[in-house]
Amino acid sequence: MRALQVDKGGRTRHDPRVRVLAAELAALEDAGLRRRLRPLASASDAEVLLDGRRVLLLSSNNYLGLATHPAVKAAACAAIERWGCGTGASRLIAGHLELHAEVEAKLAALKGTEAALLFPSGYQANVGAITTLVGRGDHVFSDALNHASIVDGCRLSRASVHVYPHRDVQTLEAELAATARGGRRLIVTDSVFSMDGDRAPLEALAALAEHYHSWLMVDEAHATGVLGPGGAGLAEAEGLGARVTVHMGTLGKALGAAGAYVAGARALVDLLVNRARTFIYTTGLAPAAVAAAGAALEVVATEPERRAALVQNAATLRDGLRALGLDARGDTHIVPLMVGDNRAALAFADALLARDVHALAIRPPTVPPGTARLRVTPMATHTAAQLERALAAFADAARATGCQP
Ligand SMILES: *Cc1c(COP(=O)(O)O)cnc(C)c1O
């Protein structure tokens, strides 16, 4: 058989095996579901360069603006000088640096746990933790709107997966009560839901976990660095830290770096080191990211005004959008602006971008069908004048696209 010439664009287009892929993309396009990468020409900030224009960025999880904080950048540069650019191996081989241990200790202190473990990404942290804790014959109970990495962790675990309706603790309790004894049980939830900006009913979940002999795992990806008196997350904010078995969070959102952690009992962390395939079979998190996260934790502690500014900016946006008659939801720094139809959401986002505001349309499968939305996320570093400009653009764009109710 002759080898396929994959490097000559002209030929691959006529290859039937490539045409199958093009047809699938065309179907996505027809459904208003095609996604495209858009390169920014500048760092993640309140304003960014996109297609040669300066636009207000309202789609970033760099909530506190720490990705460009001078102390965070300096820590990353110093780490490269001292530790190099890459770790060169998985943590268990030769990729575990004292730097990792140092930042893991910092994270454990923040979370008030015995230990913490860094992962290269939140996706890997969730998949690794869930598949370590439960397996065939066990039960995992997962909120319907949990992040895709939790969904994938549940599937890969081979445990029986019980998906309960969003925040519905009554249905969850019925499921727990109806599940035969024997086998391990894990309840897993986002703390702040990434596309809805609402909060998990953690107190009720903790009580159910205790009553039904279940572990409770909380994904604080959107709350780490943001919520709680010390910035540890929603569990800290509600005084529930000690009742959570598995604390997970990311370093790439409010902390402005990259990577993630799982925190909890020493035995949990030691077991993850031995069993979590997404930890064992991957190269250790790069020094720059580890050091940046460590420095960001200090900024969170020493500059609480950033958290206050984020709360203020989110309230300004949410209230302003509602005053325009738009359906802005959530009760955190994530402000979903509900549209419904995929194409309408895309048209709204395009109209905004034409007015120099970048707020991305979020469509299925990231959100349930019929619930396309703009996910609007301010940063602590947006000024009042910038938000005013953004709200004027929302008003115009809503009128121009007929999205106004
Ligand atoms: C972003 C996110 C993750 C994944 O984290 P990464 O570090 O980006 O892989 C996990 N859970 C939730 C809720 C998230 O929003």
Cβ count near 263 (within 10 Å)? 26
* Atom number of ligand 1 nearest to Cα 259: 7
> What type of residue sits at position 52?
G
In angstroms, what is the span from residue 124 Cα to ligand 1's centroid?
9
- Domains 35-64+304-401 and 68-302 are alike in CATH topology: no
Average of per-residue pLDDT values in the chain: 96
Domain 68-302, CATH number (from 3.90.1640.20, 3.40.640.10, 3.30.70.980, 3.20.20.100) = 3.40.640.10
Which one of the listed residues 157, 191, 194, 214 is annotated catalytic? 194
In angstroms, what is the span from residue 134 Cα to ligand 1's centroid?
20
The pair of structure tokens assigned to 157 is 């675990």
Could you state, in order of their start, the residue ranges of all structural domains in the chain?
A: 35-64+304-401, 68-302
Neighbouring-strand partners of residue 36: none
For the stretch 78-99, pLDDT in tens is 999 999 999 999 999 999 999 9
Predicted confidence at residue 6, as pLDDT, reads 56
Q: Is the pLDDT of residue 38 over 80?
A: yes
For the stretch 166-192, pLDDT in tens is 999 999 999 999 998 889 999 999 999
Predicted confidence at residue 26, as pLDDT, reads 96
Whether 73 sits among the annotated catalytic residues: the reply is no
For the stretch 230-267, pLDDT in tens is 999 999 999 999 999 999 999 999 999 999 999 999 99
Q: Is the pLDDT of residue 11 over 90?
A: no
Whether 8 sits among the annotated catalytic residues: the reply is no
Q: In what order do the strands lie in the sheet with 139-143?
A: 115-119, 260-264, 246-250, 215-219, 185-190, 139-143, 160-164
What DSSP designation does 291 have?
H
The pair of structure tokens assigned to 254 is 């409010």
Q: Is the pLDDT of residue 403 over 90?
A: no
Average pLDDT over residues 9-35: 88
Average pLDDT over residues 370-381: 97
Q: Whole-model pTM?
A: 0.95
The pair of structure tokens assigned to 303 is 């500059």
The pair of structure tokens assigned to 275 is 């069993």
- CA 336 from chain center: how many Å? 14
Q: Is the pLDDT of residue 113 over 80?
A: yes
In angstroms, what is the span from residue 321 Cα to ligand 1's centroid?
27
Q: Is 51 left (phi over 0), alpha (psi -120 to 50) or beta?
A: left
Mutate to test the pocket of ligand 1, among 60, 61, 121, 123 (most ligand atoms within 8 A of CB): 123
Fold of 35-64+304-401: Aspartate Aminotransferase, domain 1 (3.90.1150)
Q: Which of 300, 218, 315 is nearest to 254 (CA)?
A: 300
- CA 29 from chain center: how many Å? 26
Average pLDDT over residues 335-363: 96
